[in-house]
Structure 1
Amino acid sequence: MTNSSDSSPRSHVSTATDAPLRVVVLIGSTREGRFAPVVADWFLRFAAQRDDLELDPVDLAEHPLPDVVSPAAHPEAAEVTGRLAAADAFVVITPEYNHSFPAPLKNAIDLHYTQWQAKPVGFVSYGGLAGGLRAVEHLRLVLAELHAVTVRDTVSFHNAWESFAEDGSLLRPEIPEGAGKAMLDQLGWWGRTLRDGRRRSPYGA
């Protein structure tokens, strides 16, 4: 005879815990002639090989947001807001402009608050000699203020235009793919842990 106390509650928790993480991949550059699509396309192909992630790319160039932050609702931001709210984790793809990250990305962050809370964020950066890492360090400070958790390992492309072939493939894939696996492994651990924590007790409640 089956003991009913060993069935539904435990199996329900296991299913929820094992479900793929919904990861919003936020593409932060909107500049004309941007290199972002090359980096984003590579990352999305790379991350799609994992069965523990469900990817949702949000390209800010395709989703213009209001540049006036106010307490009033922003209907034009509703789609992006909903997708950020539904995410379990984020990966931000950013270039480095003048030692920091792009203004449209800061705007997208500032227009939201609870959508970031108690969720992990990973980074893929690109640029010149610094590989976008100064932009990443600034983003860590900003996202900490929003109660997000940034993972340690990042993917960075130094002199990014020299890293990709004309078809968008990596010329030397070993280092970026190794860094990408480490970053996504950390994102997955934090994503599952924080998702479970939010289900048990809403953050800030």
Structure 2
Amino acid sequence: MNIAIISGSARPARQSHQVAQYAQQQLNKLAVSNWIWDIKESNLPLLTAVFAEQENPDYVLQDLHLKLLATDAFLIVSPEHNASYPGSLKNSMDYFFKEYSGKIFGLVGVSSGVLGGINAIKNLQQYSLKLNGIVCPQFLLTPSVQKTFNDGSLVDPGYAERMDKFLNSFLSLVKGR
């Protein structure tokens, strides 16, 4: 089993990336093969042609294509921007399509407010289905992320329990395929 954790924000002071890193730590403890697709780090340009239609895709796209094909499931960690997920996340993911088809999607919303990214999750559920993905019915909300993490360290033990419960549900679905 190989899980891609998609860290969905490209903003300089992003808080959601520490949630993606924490999810990776938990998957590593469970000995689950995984990798982080950092949207900020990959820095893909505005989409003009999907990967499949490019004559000479650059190395970054070729590498992502191969990694995504070898991935069994996707764990998207996304902040909420303007009642949805970030445009940079959609732009980056839209380069690909068949790479997602028939694979499991787990969704983690992140917010500095009390709703924990629920609007981003609702929109990502629809987007994941449009990609022919299978959406895990359980999702994880991360409200008040600035109080949950401090410089990358988890300070809320209750969140650790919620993350474990979510990952167990997500991994059960992935293993059942």
Q: TM-score, normalised by structure 2?
A: 0.88
Q: 1:155 maps to what in 2?
A: 140
Q: 1:72 maps to what in 2?
A: 54
Q: 1:143 maps to what in 2?
A: 128
Structural RMSD (CA): 1.6
CA distance in 1: counterparts of 2:149 and 2:167, whole angstroms: 21
Q: How many residues align?
A: 171
Alignment check: 8 A CA contact 1:153 1:179 kept: no
The structure having more radius of gyration, on CA atoms, is 1
Q: 2:175 maps to what in 1?
A: 192
Identity level (%)? 23
Matched, 1:57 2:42: no
Alignment check: 8 A CA contact 1:151 1:183 kept: no
Alignment check: 8 A CA contact 1:154 1:179 kept: no
Structure 2 unmatched runs, 5+: none
* Deviations 1:61-91 (CA, angstroms, capped at 9, x unpaired): 1112231242324324111121111100111
* Deviations 1:109-142 (CA, angstroms, capped at 9, x unpaired): 2111111111111122211122111101101101
CA distance in 2: counterparts of 1:84 and 1:157, whole angstroms: 26
Matches for 1:88-127 after TM superposition, within 5 Å: 88-127=72-111
Q: CA, structure 1 residues 50+66, in 2 after alignment: closer, same or farther (shift >3 Å)?
A: same
Deviation of 1:192 (Å)? 2.6
